[in-house]
Structure 1
Amino acid sequence: MRPVSDSSPEPVDFLARVRAVGEKWSGDRQGKLVDVLLQAAGDNPELANLVRSSGSILEEFLEGFRRNAGTGAATSVPRDLAADLIAGRSVPQAVLDSLATRYLVAVVRSGVNGRGKAVSAEIAGPGVLSTRHDGDLVLLIPDIDDGRTTRITGHLTQWLGGSGWLAVAKRGRAQLADGFREAGDVLRLVAAGRRPSGMYSISDVLVEYAVIRHEEVAENLAAVIKPLRAHAVLWETLTALIDADYNRNKAAKNLFIHRSTLDYRLQRIAGVTGCDPTSGRGVQLLTAALIADSVR
């Protein structure tokens, strides 16, 4: 390490400050290490940038060291701990005890850039566990600081680039499998419902969630829209109407057709399904039916 400009303090001075704050640090919260080192950087912006860029590396190193030091093979961290946790598989109690008390379970699906797009370590942040499930990215974010959690989910939403969804659920460390199931259901529902890109939780899909949890209701709804599968143009018209938030002028424009042509197609949809997509009740029923059909 060396100064990047003549105005920077000598490394020995900076290291002395690091040593001084280190003597006061308890070492039990790796997630606070960057904040501690920023104290040593003082008001120098160059050293502050150095701390921010390298601090997360130190945090991850200390986290790994803390988990494995003196535990032996019987309590070593599984190779894919996040995958074990969301699957409900047993992990050593010492490993479970080393985790945060609560987590935000985030399931991320990118639309335009592909479901395999990687998330940088800067976005995920220290202490975040990650894995993949059916092509979707799964992150377990320690829910210890509302501000930090909000920043991470904000970065993830920006990372989606306006195409894709972020579904979240909060759970204690012993209920992460249940949280993953909930977030996964939310993701399926917002994708099937053709919702705009963004972050969603169960509170955003309460009606749809209730529908899919009732198997008989879901089957009856899917049966309503099933005949429309044989009419590709009508199916496209209905999805365009939903994408346009039921604005018929916008839907016609997006389909590159005249408004009268759209109205004719909507009349045909009513004839095929028995539900009028120009009425509030009818379009709600058809939207719920489309979701039920898509998640089956």
Structure 2
Amino acid sequence: MTEMAGRSLSPDEVLRSVPEEDRVADFRAKVRAAGQEWTGNEPDELVELLTKAAAGDPRLAAIARAGGPLLQDFLDGYQRKTADVPRDLAGDLADGHPLPAEVFEGLTPRYLIAVVRLAEPGDEVAALRAVAGENTLLTHRDGNVVLFIPAAGADSGEHPVTRLTRWLGGRGWLATAERERARLFDGFNEASYVLRLVVAGLRPSGAYTISDVLVEYAVTRHEKVRTDLAAVIRPLRAHKVLWETLTAFIDADYSRNKAARGLFIHRSTLDYRLRRIEDITGYDPTSGRGAQMLTAAMIAEAVHGSPVHEAGATGGLVP
């Protein structure tokens, strides 16, 4: 119950006692000002500030006393909820989000960034983290598993890439880059792009770095070259059988016999299809130059239109 003029007001009376519109507006302005003073601590402090904002108006003071603790309970519940949400530190690193200085200083000076694409994604994340090693940070991006592995772990015992490659066992791809903690965003972008090139280029399962795709990386990072290459191969998209034939031919390392066996067709049928590919694209897939051009074009087509993010000098890790 609330006291007013020597008698108690019931909650219903408090709620029905609505002040004039201008007094309410003035009260709300004072409440906003009180909010700038509040430290976020005890409920009594909040009630005191709200009561002060009521400026002696008994009805407004009654509302402040009744609503203050409720508001504090609401804020306390919200703070508990946000405190219970774990920080996706690996996700922040992958996205280049600014980190508090104390969090940034707590990072290992250097990391191995590994982006993993499983041929058949499953519930193997816990096992992958265990293989990567202690203190590994893990998140997911674009269907890939992203690992930030403290580089210090690579100095003792078996290298993490060796362990991860063995664990994959031919069931996926792994692209890596290494960076100091201020440039992890840059390292993540590099490893992610290498993985895209590896998958688009139909490379076999295994571990890759930028040194394994230098030509493709240099060519596809140039926007005009990437666009022109994609235009070379795009007409082939209208011919599903020919597209699958070229894919199988590249996957067979340009061996006609191996490609024919993989497609379950006669060698002469394969030769006919390869000639049709030359008619459409202008490049002979059985020649060295033609094979190189068409492979680069297929990779460019696969990554064309996808933005390539650039990292700054600090990677955006600290405010």
> TM-score normalized by structure 1?
0.71
For residue 114 of structure 1, what is the amino acid of its counterpart? P
Instruction: Return 5+ residue gaps in structure 1 as ranges.
Output: 1-76
Distance 1:149 1:225 in 2: 46
Give the drift of 1:145: 4.2
Distance 1:79 1:216 in 2: 39
Contact residue 113 and residue 191 of structure 2 kept, 8 A: yes
For residue 159 of structure 1, what is the amino acid of its counterpart? W
Instruction: Return 5+ residue gaps in structure 2 as ranges.
Output: 1-84, 305-319
The answer to which structure, 1 or 2, has the higher relative contact order (CA under 8 A, 6+ apart) is: 2
Pair 1:135–1:197, CA change in 2 (3 A): same
Distance 1:78 1:144 in 2: 25
Task: Summarize the alignment of residues 192-207 of structure 1 with structure 2, pairs less than 5 Å apart.
Answer: 192-207=200-215
For residue 198 of structure 1, what is the amino acid of its counterpart? G
Task: Summarize the alignment of residues 147-158 of structure 1 with structure 2, pairs less than 5 Å apart.
Answer: 147-148=155-156, 150-158=158-166
Match of 1:171 in 2: 179
**2:256 equivalent to 1:254:** no
Give secondary structure in 2 for the equivalent of 1:144: helix
Pair 1:224–1:150, CA change in 2 (3 A): farther
Deviates more, 1:117-126 or 1:248-257: 117-126
**2:111 equivalent to 1:100:** no
Give the drift of 1:119: 3.9
Distance 1:177 1:150 in 2: 26
Match of 1:140 in 2: 148
Distance 1:232 1:266 in 2: 13
Contact residue 154 and residue 160 of structure 2 kept, 8 A: no
Contact residue 193 and residue 290 of structure 1 kept, 8 A: yes
Give the drift of 1:193: 0.5
Contact residue 153 and residue 160 of structure 2 kept, 8 A: no
For residue 88 of structure 1, what is the amino acid of its counterpart? G
Q: Once superposed, what is the RMSD of the aligned Cα atoms?
A: 1.9
For residue 198 of structure 2, what is the amino acid of its counterpart? V
Contact residue 109 and residue 115 of structure 1 kept, 8 A: no
Aligned length: 220
Contact residue 138 and residue 146 of structure 2 kept, 8 A: yes
Match of 1:161 in 2: 169
**2:130 equivalent to 1:118:** no
Pair 1:179–1:249, CA change in 2 (3 A): same
Distance 1:255 1:247 in 2: 12
Give secondary structure in 1 for the equivalent of 2:182: helix
Give secondary structure in 1 for the equivalent of 2:237: helix
Distance 1:180 1:255 in 2: 36
Give % identity.
61
Match of 2:226 in 1: 218
